[in-house]
Amino acid sequence: MENKIVLSGTRPTGNIHLGNYFGAIENWVRLQDQYECYFFIADWHALTTGYAETDVLRKNTLGLLADILASGVDPEKATIFLQSDIKQHAELFLLLGMNTPLSWLERCPTYKDMIANMSSEKDIMTYGFLGYPALMAADILMYRANYVPVGEDQSAHLEITRELARRFNFLYKTEVLPEPQPLFTKAKVLPGTDGRKMSKSYGNTIALADTPDEVKKKVMGMITDPARIRKDDPGHPDICTVYAFHKVFNEDKVPEIEEQCKGGCIGCVACKKMLQEKIAEFHTPIYEKRTALLQDEPKLLDILRQGREKASKKAEETIREVRKAVKIGFDTIEE
């Protein structure tokens, strides 16, 4: 166990799908044995785009927690908490906001993308949405995280976090906020059931919350190599979604499948059936765990309560030093 701190969060915007699982959660399970880990449900971040739909927050939060736990993240090893429980994130966000140049936020690639792709459906031209990276910086710096596991999509935010930490330390002549490093972990890449990127907005996901029956239907309905009509047509596994899934769920058999597919010795239905069984071996136990967890709400609430306690200790410590560095608040006046 290394004496380093890892922090990561995920927004409660819907059910975790296999893309999220292999992109992030699987890593959390590994990291919790190696580092002091803080994993949180970013409900304030969900408000940056979903401020008008707060009725779904409770269900999404508990569902996400059940997904995380069923995947093997262990509250005995990692601190799991709800962002909005730790009000210090809001205070640090405010203080960072005072010296965050607007240009850093406006030029952030995720911001530009979202504005270009989304503004027709939802009004996200808000102060909160623009400030998203500063809130994320507050989340990270609050726990003085050494590492943040990041994929492509979050690396610009981490860069802003690092710049904000440097700026804060420079302005207030302090070293309170260490610069976090990105942790580039090898993630397995899974396409969606239609071969595009797995994404809720494409409707091509397989969720941990899907019933085993739904999963089976989705797998059996996957698109394969369109050139294969009869079993003895030679196939092109590299363009086949089923094959991409085999690489993740059925690694040992990949060379064999490739050969049989190219040689026209295996039919696509049999090939999918084989995959479906492998996915079920992985998915069904997680599905059953998450279902059982959701039936035990007191237990879920208790985990959030415990996490809140552990996280707030650390957050109080940081915010006390931050206030001292900024020279603001009663404590610093009294001293």
Work out what residue 183 binds among ligand SF4, ligand TRP, none; the CB cut-off runs from 5 to 8 Å by kind.
Answer: none
Task: Name which of ligand TRP, ligand SF4, none residue 21 binds, using a CB cut-off of 5 to 8 Å depending on partner kind.
Answer: none
Min separation Cβ 22 and ligand SF4, Å: 19
Verify binding: residue 45, ligand TRP, rule CB under 6 A.
yes
Residue 257 in tokens: 């499948």
With CB cut-offs between 5 and 8 Å by kind, which of ligand TRP, ligand SF4, none does residue 225 bind?
Answer: ligand SF4
* From the list ligand SF4, ligand TRP, none, partner contacted by residue 85 (C-beta under 5 to 8 A by kind): none
CB 81 within 8 A of CB 310: yes
Report 268-327 residues binding ligand SF4 (CB under 6 A). 268, 271-272
User: Nearest residue by C-beta to ligand TRP?
Assistant: 9
Beta bridge partners of 80: 39
Helix axes 43-50, 57-70, angle to 10 degrees: 130
Q: Is 190 in the site for ligand SF4 (CB under 6 A)?
A: no
Query: Rounded to the nearest 5 degrees, what angle is found at the Cα of 206, between the Cα atoms of 205 and 210?
Result: 125
**Which residues are bridge partners to 6 per DSSP?**
37, 147
Element holding 171 (H helix, E strand): helix 155-171
The one-letter amino acid at 143 = Y
Piece of 186-194, 238-246, 299-307, 314-322 that binds ligand SF4 (CB under 6 A): 238-246
Residue in 316, 300, 294, 311 with CA at minimum distance from that of residue 83: 311
Q: State yes or no: residue 237 binds ligand SF4 (CB under 6 A).
A: yes
Q: Which is nearer to ligand SF4, 159 or 233 (CB)?
A: 233
Q: Does 261 bind ligand SF4 (CB under 6 A)?
A: yes
Question: 310: burial class by Cβ within 10 Å (0-12, 13-18, 19+)?
Answer: middle
Rounded to the nearest 5°, which phi and psi values hold at 17?
-110, 175
Pair 13, 44: CB distance under 8 Å: no
Interface mask toward ligand TRP for 126-145; x: CB under 6 A: ----------x--xx-----
Residue with token string 């239905």 = 269
Contacts of 23 (CB under 8 A, 6+ apart): 151, 187, 189
Find where tokens 């601190």 sit.
Answer: 79
The residue type found at 64 is L
Residue 67 engages ligand SF4 in binding (rule: CB under 6 A): no
Q: How far is the CB of 221 from ligand SF4 (least distance, A)?
A: 12
Segment contacting ligand TRP (CB under 6 A): 9-17, 270-278, 282-290, 295-303? Answer: 9-17
Contact window for ligand SF4 (CB under 6 A) among 44-52, 117-125, 203-211, 220-228? 220-228
Chain residues that interact with ligand SF4, rule: CB under 6 A:
224-225, 228, 235, 237, 240, 242-243, 257, 261, 266, 268, 271-272
Chain residues that interact with ligand TRP, rule: CB under 6 A:
7-11, 42, 45, 136, 139-140, 148, 154
